[in-house]
Every structure is written in C-alpha cells, then in structure tokens.
Amino acid sequence: MPTNKLLPFANGAGANVQDEATWASLPDVATGFVSGLAVSKNFNRILAQGGAAGYAIGKVVVDWLGQDATIDATTLGTNFEAALDARYNKFGNYLPLAGGTMTGNIAWNVPENPRLSGASEYMQIGYPTGGLISLRPLSFASNPGGFDIDAGFGTGASVRLRGKKDGSLAWNGKEIERVDSSGSGWIRYTSGLQIVYKLVGGGYVRPISWTFPKAFASNPVVTATTYGQGDINGVSISALSTTSVTFTNGGGWSCYAIAIGAWK
C-alpha cells in the first residue's frame, strides 16, 4: 500500500509552536535568525510549516498517483506533477489556446462520462450506454456552410437536425416550416406557401373585387363565405388571377375570403 513518509512535524495537540499572531509580528519572519539562540517555539514553527507542506504534497502523490512519498526530492517532484496530471488531465491532453485536436475521452458534468472523437469532419459525443450525438460543423463536405446534429444509438444516427447556409432547417430530411415574412392580411412561409385573408366588403355593392396584398406565383385557391344578417346565398368567384379575384353573392353582402397558394 502506498505510504506518505513525509510526516508533519510539531502538528500534535499542545505542540511547542509559536501562535499565528505572534509569529506574524516577529521581525525574524522577514530577516531570519541573525544571531544568538533561536526561540524553540519560533524554530519549531519553521519546521512545522515545511513539514505541513511536505505532508500535503506527499498526500497528493499517495492518494492521486498511488506511489510512496519520500524525501527524495527529485522523485517527489516528478510524482507530484504526475499526480496532478492524473487527477485533472486524466481524460487526455488539454488543447492549446489556439488550434489543436482533442482526442480520447472528455469529462462532462453528467453521471456517465461521454467520449469525444477527433475525426476531421465531425465531433462525436458518445455515452457508455450506446447513445451518441454527432456535431458536424460548417466545413462538413455534404453541407458546406451549415451544420448537422445527429443523435441515435450505435454507429448510425436515428434523427438529424440540419441547418443550411441559406438559413433553412430540416428535421430528418423534411424542412421545418418557418415564417419568411408577414403583414396585414398576409403571411409567407419559407417553403413557398402564402396565405392571404380579408373581410371583403361593400354592403349591397356587387360584384366585389379583391386585390391581394401580396401577389402569388400562380393562381391560388380561393374560398369565401358571405357575411351579413342571415344571408343564405352562396358566393361565386370569377376573374381569378395571381393578383386579384372577384366575388358575387345573391344577397350582396360582404365576404370572409381566404386565398392559399405559392409565392415562389
């Protein structure tokens, strides 16, 4: 069993050692003993300080490295450095401030320690239970300027989130719908879908023309329902184009209208 042979000196109860306050105020602390006999309490204080430091270093060597700690200064220094490395750098070398590649295991603040793969195109964080997360950065060949985040078990990804250089996001190969732009009575999505809507009114004036707030790339699908005081007559649609449509209804009331189509 490894042993710490650097024993503390004058560390026991009632040791003949100068107290903290008195020791701090003595000029000998700065100048050393220059003449005469040294007071035993003061001299013991010096030995106790060195012994405590040696004991602490020896304890690190024994506990963290599993080696004996002795007064062999060269071996003690080498083992102390190795103990620190074993304790704080046990999962691989630290990266330099600039550049470098991390390999081996990385410690996370989780119950199980993931591992980090240093492949040139991606970083993979795996768990002992078999799960993994792969991070592919901007330089990834199949998606330049974007990123991939894969998650799954074993060697294959079960799900993937891909962000492209154009700002689009896809989950498992299907683009995630996002709003591109919107305004009063209209909304456009990144997929190309456009929806416009309005209460097209005019009282008893008919037919009623509606110019879309935003044009479509091709003729949209339009629907409308009459809005009025018990009006039961249907609405007919005519003159449909990418920019407008005309409604006619038997009662002449206003219409709730909506048009859906592509804007790009």
Work out the pLDDT band at 115, boundaries 50, 70, 90. Answer: very low
Q: pLDDT digits over 163-199, tens only?
A: 877 777 888 888 888 888 999 999 999 889 999 999 8
Last residue of a domain, one of 174, 192, 214: 174
Please provide the average confidence, as pLDDT, over all residues in the chain.
Answer: 78
Give tens-digit pLDDT for 52-92.
999 999 999 999 889 999 999 999 999 998 888 877 765 45
What tokens were used for 240? 């449909």
Q: Tell whether 258 is covered by a domain.
A: yes
Q: Answer yes or no: do 258 and 201 share one domain.
A: yes
Last residue of a domain, one of 38, 71, 88: 88
Q: Which two tokens stand for residue 184?
A: 């009063």
In a domain, 101, yes or no: no
Q: 48 lies in which domain range? A: 20-88
Number of domains in the chain: 3
Q: Is the Cβ–Cβ distance between 249 and 233 less than 8 Å?
A: yes
Separation CA 116–CA 91 (nearest Å)? 10
> How many angstroms separate the CA atoms of 194 and 264, rounded?
9
In a domain, 4, yes or no: no
132 within domain boundaries: yes
Classify residue 145: in a domain, yes or no: yes
Q: Give the domain-ending residue among 88, 103, 129.
A: 88
249 and 225 in a single domain? The answer is: yes
* 220 in any annotated domain: yes
Query: DSSP H helical segments within the chain, as ranges?
Result: 20-25, 28-31, 40-60, 73-88
Cα–Cα distance between 139 and 118 in angstroms, integer? 14
Full DSSP string of 144-186: TT-EEEEEEETTEEEEEEEE-TTS-EEETTEEPP-EEEEETTE
Domain assignment present for residue 102? The answer is no
Inside any domain, residue 100: no
> pLDDT at position 158, please?
73
Instruction: Output the domain CATH number for residue 213.
Output: 2.60.40.3940
**CB burial readout 95-112, b (16+ within 10 A) else e:** eeeeeeeeeeeeeeeeee
Looking at residue 111, what is its pLDDT? Answer: 42
Q: Is 133 helix (H, G, I), strand (E, B) or coil?
A: strand
For residue 99, pLDDT beyond 70: no
186 token code pair: 């209209």
Judge if 201 and 168 occupy the same domain: no
Same domain? 159 vs 185:
no
Same domain? 170 vs 184: no
**Is residue 123 located within the same domain as residue 62?**
no
Residue 138 and residue 209 share a domain: no
pTM greater than the 0.75 cutoff? no
Compute the distance between CA of residue 223 and CA of residue 238 in angstroms, rounded to an integer: 11
